[in-house]
Chains A and B, each alone.
Chain A
Amino acid sequence: MAPVFEIAIQQIVNGLMVGTIYALMALGLMVVLGILNVVNMAQGELYMLGGYFAYTAVSILKVDYITSVLLAMIAAAVVGAFVERVSVRPLLGRPAAVFLATFGMSLMLKNIALLIWGPDPRDISAPFNTTPLVIGPVFLTQQRIFIFVAAVVVVLAFAAFLRWTRTGMALRALSRDKDAALLMGINANRLYMLSFGLGAGLAGGAGALLGAIFSVYPTMGELPLMKGFAVVVLAGIGSIAGVLVSALILGVTEGLAAAFVSTSWIDVVAFVVLILVLLIYPQGISRLIKRDA
Chain B
Amino acid sequence: MRFARTMAVFAVSLAAVTAVQAQDPIKYGLGVALTGPIGFMGTQYTKGLQAGIDYVNSQGGIGGRKFEVIVRDTKGIPADAIAVAKRLIELDKASVIDITLPGSATLASQSVSKEAKIPMLGYTTVPAAVDQGNPYYFRPYSNVNIISATLAKVIAELPNEKRVALLASNDDYGRSAIQVMIDALKSYPDVKVVFSDYYERTQTDFSAIFLRMKAAKADTLYLDIRYPQSVTALKQMAEVGLKGTLVNSLLFYNNELAQRAGALLEGAYITALWAPIKDDPESKKFIEAFRKTNNGEIPDDSAAAGWCSAMVIADAFKRAGANADGEKLREALAATDILSPIGRIKFNQKGDAEAPVLLLQFKNGAYHPL
| A and B interact physically | yes
Is there a chain A Cβ closer than 8 Å to B258's Cβ?
no
Q: Could you tell me the distance between the alpha carbons of A141 and B235 in the complex, rounded to whole angstroms?
A: 11
Q: Which of B199, B206, B207 contacts A264 (CB 8 A)?
A: B199
Q: Could you tell me the distance between the alpha carbons of A218 and B35 in the complex, rounded to whole angstroms?
A: 10
Mask: chain B, 39-61; 1 = CB below 8 Å from A; 0 = not: 11001000000000000000000
Q: Could you tell me the distance between the alpha carbons of A114 and B211 in the complex, rounded to whole angstroms?
A: 35
The answer to whether A258 and B208 touch across the interface, beta carbons within 8 angstroms, is yes
Provide the residues of chain A in CB contact with B197, threshold 8 Å: 262-264
Q: Could you tell me the distance between the alpha carbons of A121 and B228 in the complex, rounded to whole angstroms?
A: 7
Q: Within B3-41, which residues are at the interface with A (CB < 8 Å)?
A: 34-37, 39-40
Q: Could you tell me the distance between the alpha carbons of A120 and B209 in the complex, rounded to whole angstroms?
A: 26
Is there a chain B Cβ closer than 8 Å to A130's Cβ?
yes
The answer to whether A7 and B208 touch across the interface, beta carbons within 8 angstroms, is yes
The answer to whether B40 and A119 touch across the interface, beta carbons within 8 angstroms, is yes
Is there a chain A Cβ closer than 8 Å to B238's Cβ?
yes
Q: Could you tell me the distance between the alpha carbons of A128 and B107 in the complex, rounded to whole angstroms?
A: 44
Specify the chain B residue showing the minimal Cβ separation from A139: B240
Is there a chain B Cβ closer than 8 Å to A217's Cβ?
yes
Q: Within B58-103, which residues are at the interface with A (CB < 8 Å)?
A: none
Q: How far is the CB of B38 from chain A (nearest CB, A)?
A: 9
The answer to whether B239 and A214 touch across the interface, beta carbons within 8 angstroms, is no
Given contacts A119-B36, A139-B240, A141-B239, whether A259 and B211 have CB atoms under 8 Å apart is yes
The answer to whether A264 and B212 touch across the interface, beta carbons within 8 angstroms, is no
Mask: chain B, 180-204; 1 = CB below 8 Å from A; 0 = not: 0000000000000000011110111
Provide the residues of chain A in CB contact with B260, threshold 8 Å: 123
The answer to whether B240 and A213 touch across the interface, beta carbons within 8 angstroms, is no
Q: Could you tell me the distance between the alpha carbons of A11 and B228 in the complex, rounded to whole angstroms?
A: 23
The answer to whether A132 and B240 touch across the interface, beta carbons within 8 angstroms, is yes
The answer to whether A219 and B40 touch across the interface, beta carbons within 8 angstroms, is no
Provide the residues of chain A in CB contact with B198, threshold 8 Å: 262-264
Provide the residues of chain A in CB contact with B238, threshold 8 Å: 130, 132
Q: How far is the CB of A50 from chain B (nearest CB, A)?
A: 15
Provide the residues of chain A in CB contact with B170, threshold 8 Å: 264
Is there a chain B Cβ closer than 8 Å to A215's Cβ?
yes
Q: How far is the CB of A34 from chain B (nearest CB, A)?
A: 28
Provide the residues of chain B in CB contact with A258, threshold 8 Å: 205, 208-209
Specify the chain B residue showing the minimal Cβ separation from A262: B197
Q: Which of B35, B203, B215 contacts A7 (CB 8 A)?
A: B215
Q: Could you tell me the distance between the alpha carbons of A44 and B40 in the complex, rounded to whole angstroms?
A: 23
Provide the residues of chain A in CB contact with B204, threshold 8 Å: 210, 213-214, 223
Q: Could you tell me the distance between the alpha carbons of A210 and B204 in the complex, rounded to whole angstroms?
A: 10
The answer to whether B200 and A215 touch across the interface, beta carbons within 8 angstroms, is no
Is there a chain B Cβ closer than 8 Å to A255's Cβ?
yes
Provide the residues of chain B in CB contact with A266, threshold 8 Å: 200, 203
Provide the residues of chain B in CB contact with A18, threshold 8 Å: 205
Provide the residues of chain B in CB contact with A255, threshold 8 Å: 208
The answer to whether A119 and B35 touch across the interface, beta carbons within 8 angstroms, is yes
Given contacts A14-B208, A119-B40, A262-B198, whether A215 and B256 have CB atoms under 8 Å apart is no
Q: How far is the CB of B218 from chain A (nearest CB, A)?
A: 13
User: Most chain-B Cβ atoms within 10 A of its Cβ — which of A134, A210, A266, A267?
Assistant: A266
Provide the residues of chain A in CB contact with B232, threshold 8 Å: 213-215
Q: How far is the CB of A25 from chain B (nearest CB, A)?
A: 14
Q: Within A213-248, which residues are at the interface with B (CB < 8 Å)?
A: 213-215, 217-219, 222-223
Q: Which of A4, A121, A130, A264 contacts B235 (CB 8 A)?
A: A130
Given contacts A121-B228, A263-B197, whether A219 and B205 have CB atoms under 8 Å apart is no
Q: Within B223-266, which residues are at the interface with A (CB < 8 Å)?
A: 228, 231-232, 235, 238-241, 256, 260
Q: Could you tell me the distance between the alpha carbons of A7 and B212 in the complex, rounded to whole angstroms?
A: 7
Mask: chain A, 132-153; 1 = CB below 8 Å from B; 0 = not: 1010000101001000000000
Mask: chain A, 177-192; 1 = CB below 8 Å from B; 0 = not: 0000000000000000
The answer to whether B209 and A263 touch across the interface, beta carbons within 8 angstroms, is yes
Q: How far is the CB of B209 from chain A (nearest CB, A)?
A: 6
The answer to whether A7 and B211 touch across the interface, beta carbons within 8 angstroms, is yes
Q: Could you tell me the distance between the alpha carbons of A6 and B198 in the complex, rounded to whole angstroms?
A: 22
Q: Which of B215, B241, B256 contacts A120 (CB 8 A)?
A: B256
The answer to whether A14 and B36 touch across the interface, beta carbons within 8 angstroms, is no
Q: Within A94-138, which residues are at the interface with B (CB < 8 Å)?
A: 114, 119-121, 123, 130, 132, 134
The answer to whether A10 and B202 touch across the interface, beta carbons within 8 angstroms, is no
Given contacts A120-B40, A121-B231, A215-B232, whether A223 and B208 have CB atoms under 8 Å apart is no
Question: 9 A-B pairs, CB-CB below 8 angstroms?
Answer: A6-B215, A7-B211, A10-B207, A11-B211, A134-B241, A141-B239, A210-B204, A217-B228, A263-B199
Residues of A within 8 A of B (CB): 3-4, 6-7, 10-11, 14, 18, 114, 119-121, 123, 130, 132, 134, 139, 141, 144, 210, 213-215, 217-219, 222-223, 255, 258-259, 262-264, 266-267
16 extra interface residue pairs, beta carbon distance < 8 Å, beyond A11-B207, A11-B208, A259-B208: A6-B215, A7-B211, A11-B211, A120-B39, A120-B40, A130-B238, A132-B238, A132-B240, A217-B37, A223-B204, A255-B208, A258-B208, A259-B211, A262-B197, A263-B199, A263-B200
Which 4 A-B residue pairings sit nearest by Cβ, starting from the closest? A258-B208, A121-B228, A3-B215, A119-B39
